[in-house]
């Protein structure tokens, strides 16, 4: 197992060593895994192209490390503990032995369908154990998984399937979410009609007996895929730098891009970070409430915990069903030790009152985690007081799809915590703040653009099918630095607080979205001439979506608003629906025709005292109109 730091002194030493001798530091951690052939070089890199390779020529299979390796010591320990949406349904457990058997059966089933090393398989599934099993089955045979969050629309799914030229989609029939039952296979059928020409087969995990549209040429049930298969499957031997998965994420321009992670480095870093950040101890029950459709679920529900031999919980439902006590009820039921969730969930539950957590015994909780967006001070204190009872350190973990694992966080019980501060970089992570002119900010008490100046094992390798996009997005803003897109401040003691995106990416309920993507969706409406989308502060969601729309129609009414929401739901999914829509006759633009989002952001945020000089705009007169019509 990778090292587990337990004192401040050890953290400091590990950090220093990781900077002085990164290769030696990571060689030691990597050597704790099972390699089918040892790597012969730790690192080769340049951030120009970029070209980053870790553990060169090492051969491995991540599932041998997630599963087989644990059979001897903890074969009968629970690997995945699943809690259904329905509070009365029994919890389901898979021991490490059982999980290995299920993964092998599925892997053999995939092989029988012609899936082989390097093929892409897209998942569009609710939070059921079969999602984790399927993902691991892909990894077992060297197929590249790409999980698409099951809240995305058919169009968004088709876009991702097409970009990845996936051969197969694995889905479920329905998704049980709270009191709703959402059709999933239906969305896949629609996506198949919209594109997905590369797809040969659709595997359907049936949770219900409800009728489904079925085509025998294409559709195959999960049961038929797996039932005749052996529970032994030889693991495909992968190169350290072979692709493990693609995960689509939003950027400031264009369509979502496929962030690529590779086998060796991702394995080493997710295990190392999981063990240290969550201070996982033998026998603990760990629960991350994320969805596997996002990076948090990949790294800290599936891979990190399983690599570390942990018991990881998966929850099918939502925090407010059947009532706002559900999370806490589950914590009590399973004596959860580490609880990891998003600020948006904390704020939503906080709004339901203190009585809900007060009804449950939360004494098993040792630490609380937060991820995905900045946590505001009020939510931090509520979490601390009502869930952690003032005794469980809060780890505010900052990271990204592209970083693969947690980059900046307090280590619970080891480093201090301060509300709203992600605090300190992990060993191996060389964070820097830059000013706009490209100078590294030295010393403390400063604010700048957050970059990382040295590679780490789980960093993005490329964007699928478009390496140049990876270079321009992350490595061209500052020479020799990975640019995160976030602004941050460093306090007088060197703690880092991540303030938020400085680009045109917004974070709505912890869901990352490109404003350009939402605009493109809105512009699909035939009566929309132009639109501009910005984020504004929202009490629960963190950021809300504010859309300014120029329309051909003079008489804009509620029906038109509804049509806009429908078009966004169709193009992206309900998570991208604007919270506020303002119809305008023009958008403030520079003389070169660029929309002045800075001004629109301020108006949406109701910060109009200091708009700056608008006289140089192409159309200064629209500013007043936009301000007058602003939705409070």
The distance of closest approach from Cβ of residue 259 to ligand WTA in the complex, given in angstroms and rounded to an integer, is 8
CA 201 to chain CA mean position, Å: 27
Q: For ligand WTA, give the closer residue by CB, 160 or 512.
A: 512
Shortest CA distance to 486 belongs to which of 454, 516, 449, 452? 449
Q: Tell me if 116 sits within 8 A of 142, measured CB to CB.
A: yes
Task: Give me the least distance between CB of 400 and ligand WTA, in Å please.
Answer: 4
Pick from 177, 489, 485, 542: which is nearest to 370 by CA?
542
CB count within 10 Å of CB 19 equals 15
Minimum distance from residue 372 beta carbon to ligand WTA (Å): 5
88, 89, 175, 317, 346 from 83: Cα distances, Å? 10, 8, 14, 8, 20
- Cβ 272 to ligand WTA shortest distance, Å: 17
- Least Å distance, CB 44 to ligand WTA, is 26
Query: What is the H or E stretch that residue 433 is in?
Result: strand 431-434
Q: Which regions of 527-613 does DSSP assign to beta strands (E)?
A: 528-538, 542-551, 580-583
Q: How far is the CB of 325 from ligand WTA (least distance, A)?
A: 25
Helix, strand, or coil (residue 114): coil
CB 211, min distance to ligand WTA, A: 36
State which residue, 15 or 398, has the beta carbon closest to ligand WTA.
Answer: 398
Closer to ligand WTA by CB, 503 or 579: give it. Answer: 503
The torsion angle over the Cα atoms of residues 142, 144, 148 and 150, rounded to 10 degrees, is -20
> In sequence order, what are the residues at sequence separation of 6 or more whose Cβ sits closer than 8 angstroms to the Cβ of residue 31?
none
Q: How far is the CB of 250 from ligand WTA (least distance, A)?
A: 8
Radius of gyration of the chain (CA): 24
- Specify whether the CB–CB gap between 394 and 380 falls below 8 A: yes
State the maximum Cα–Cα separation within the chain, in Å, rounded to a whole number. Answer: 73
Cβ proximity to ligand WTA: between 108 and 417 the closer is 417
Residue nearest ligand WTA, Cβ-based: 401
**Between 167 and 489, CB nearer to ligand WTA:** 489
Torsion of CA 46, 263, 456, 68, to 10 degrees: -150
Going by the DSSP 8-state scheme, the letter that residue 370 receives in this structure is E
3-state secondary structure of 300: helix
Q: How many residues does the chain have?
A: 632
Phi, psi of 64 (to 5 degrees): -65, -35
Nearer to ligand WTA, 95 or 296 (CB): 296
Nearer to ligand WTA, 5 or 422 (CB): 422
> Which CB sits closer to ligand WTA, 123 or 300?
300
Write down the least CB distance from residue 288 to ligand WTA, Å.
Answer: 11
CA 576/CA 533 separation, integer angstroms: 11
The answer to whether the CB of 83 falls within 8 A of the CB of 127 is: no
Q: Give the nearer residue to ligand WTA in terms of CB position, either 115 or 349.
A: 349
Residue whose C-alpha is closest to residue 67's, from 92, 94, 96: 96
C-alpha torsion sign, points 586, 589, 593, 597: negative
Measured from the CB atom, the residue of 317 and 485 that comes closer to ligand WTA is 485
Nearest to 470 by CA among 485, 478, 480, 460: 460
- Minimal distance in Å, beta carbon 564 to ligand WTA? 25
By the 8 A CB rule, do 536 and 544 touch?
A: yes
CB 259 within 8 A of CB 402: yes
Q: Which is closer to ligand WTA, CB of 119 or CB of 402? A: 402
Say if residue 50 is preceded by a cis peptide, omega within 30 of 0.
Answer: yes
**Minimum distance from residue 520 beta carbon to ligand WTA (Å):** 20
Cβ pair 268, 174 in contact under 8 A: no
Of 192 and 506, the one with the shorter C-beta distance to ligand WTA is: 506
Looking only at the bridges linking them, the beta strands covering 580-583 and 542-551 are parallel
> Rule CB under 6 A: which residues touch ligand WTA?
249, 294-296, 371-374, 396-401, 422, 484-486, 498, 500-501, 507, 512
Residue 600 contacts residue 626 (beta carbons within 8 Å): yes
Compute the least distance from the CB of residue 538 to ligand WTA, in Å: 15
Q: By C-beta, is 115 or 259 nearer to ligand WTA?
A: 259
CA distance 528 to 564: 9
Beta carbon nearer to ligand WTA, 362 or 460: 460
CB 338 → ligand WTA: shortest distance, Å?
A: 16
Minimal distance in Å, beta carbon 481 to ligand WTA? 15
- To 5 degrees, how large is the angle CA 56–CA 59–CA 60? 125
Least Å distance between CB 292 and ligand WTA?
13
Distance CA 457, CA 1 (A): 16
Report CA-CA distances (Å) from 454 to 194, 409, 574, 600, 615. 42, 18, 38, 36, 43
């Amino acid at each position: 197992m990778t090292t587990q730091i337990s004192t401040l002194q050890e953290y400091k030493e590990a950090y220093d060593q990781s900077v002085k001798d990164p290769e030696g530091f990571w060689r030691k951690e990597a050597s704790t895994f099972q390699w089918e052939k040892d790597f012969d070089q730790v690192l080769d890199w340049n951030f120009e192209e970029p070209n980053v390779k870790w553990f060169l020529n090492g051969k491995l299979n991540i599932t041998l490390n997630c599963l087989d390796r644990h059979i001897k010591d903890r074969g009968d320990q629970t690997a995945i503990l699943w809690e259904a949406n329905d509070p009365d349904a029994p919890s389901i457990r898979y021991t490490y032995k059982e999980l290995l058997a299920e993964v092998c059966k599925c892997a053999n089933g995939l092989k029988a369908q012609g899936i082989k090393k390097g093929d892409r398989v897209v998942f569009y599934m609710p939070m059921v154990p079969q999602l984790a099993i399927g993902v691991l089955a892909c990894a077992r045979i060297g197929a590249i998984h790409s999980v698409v969050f099951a809240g995305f629309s058919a169009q968004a799914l088709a876009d991702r399937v097409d970009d990845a030229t996936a051969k197969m989609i694995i889905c479920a029939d329905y998704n049980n979410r709270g009191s709703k039952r959402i059709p999933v296979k239906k969305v896949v059928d629609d996506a198949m009609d919209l594109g997905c020409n590369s797809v040969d087969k659709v595997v359907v995990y049936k949770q219900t007996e409800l009728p489904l549209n079925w085509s025998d040429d294409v559709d195959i049930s999960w049961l038929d895929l797996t039932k005749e298969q052996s529970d032994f499957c030889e693991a495909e031997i992968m190169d350290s730098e072979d692709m493990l998965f693609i995960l689509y994420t939003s950027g400031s321009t264009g369509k979502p891009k496929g962030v690529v992670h590779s086998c060796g480095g991702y394995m080493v870093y997710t295990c190392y970070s999981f063990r240290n950040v969550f201070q996982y101890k033998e026998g603990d029950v760990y629960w991350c409430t994320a969805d596997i459709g996002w990076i948090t679920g990949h790294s800290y529900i599936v891979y990190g915990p399983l690599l570390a031999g942990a018991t990881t919980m998966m929850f099918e439902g939502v925090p407010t069903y059947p009532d706002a006590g559900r999370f806490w009820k589950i914590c009590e039921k399973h004596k959860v030790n580490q609880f990891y969730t998003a600020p948006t969930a904390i704020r939503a539950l906080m709004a339901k009152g203190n009585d809900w957590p007060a009804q449950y015994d939360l004494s098993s909780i040792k630490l609380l985690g937060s991820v995905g967006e900045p946590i505001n001070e009020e939510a931090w204190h509520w979490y601390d007081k009502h869930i952690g009872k003032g005794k469980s350190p809060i780890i505010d973990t900052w990271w990204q799809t592209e970083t693969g694992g947690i980059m900046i966080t307090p280590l619970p019980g080891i480093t201090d915590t301060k509300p709203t501060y992600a605090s300190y970089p992990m060993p191996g992570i060389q964070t820097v703040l830059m000013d706009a002119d490209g100078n590294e900010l030295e010393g403390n008490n400063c604010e700048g653009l957050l970059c990382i100046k040295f590679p780490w094992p789980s960093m993005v390798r490329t964007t699928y099918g478009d390496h140049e996009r990876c270079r321009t997005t992350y490595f061209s803003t500052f020479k020799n630095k990975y640019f995160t897109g976030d602004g941050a401040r460093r306090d007088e003691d060197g703690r880092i607080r991540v303030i938020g995106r400085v680009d045109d990416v917004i974070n709505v309920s912890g869901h990352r979205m490109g404003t350009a993507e939402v605009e493109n969706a809105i512009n699909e409406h035939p009566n929309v001439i132009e639109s501009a989308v910005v984020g504004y502060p929202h009490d629960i969601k963190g950021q809300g979506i504010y859309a300014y729309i120029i329309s051909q129609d003079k008489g804009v009414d509620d029906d038109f608003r509804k049509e806009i929401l429908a078009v966004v739901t169709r193009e992206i999914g309900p998570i991208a629906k604007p919270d506020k829509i303002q119809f305008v006759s023009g958008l403030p633009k520079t003389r070169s025709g660029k929309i002045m989002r800075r001004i629109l952001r301020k108006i949406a945020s109701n910060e109009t005292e200091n708009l700056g000089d608008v006289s140089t705009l192409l159309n200064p007169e629209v500013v007043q109109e936009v301000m007058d019509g602003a939705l409070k």
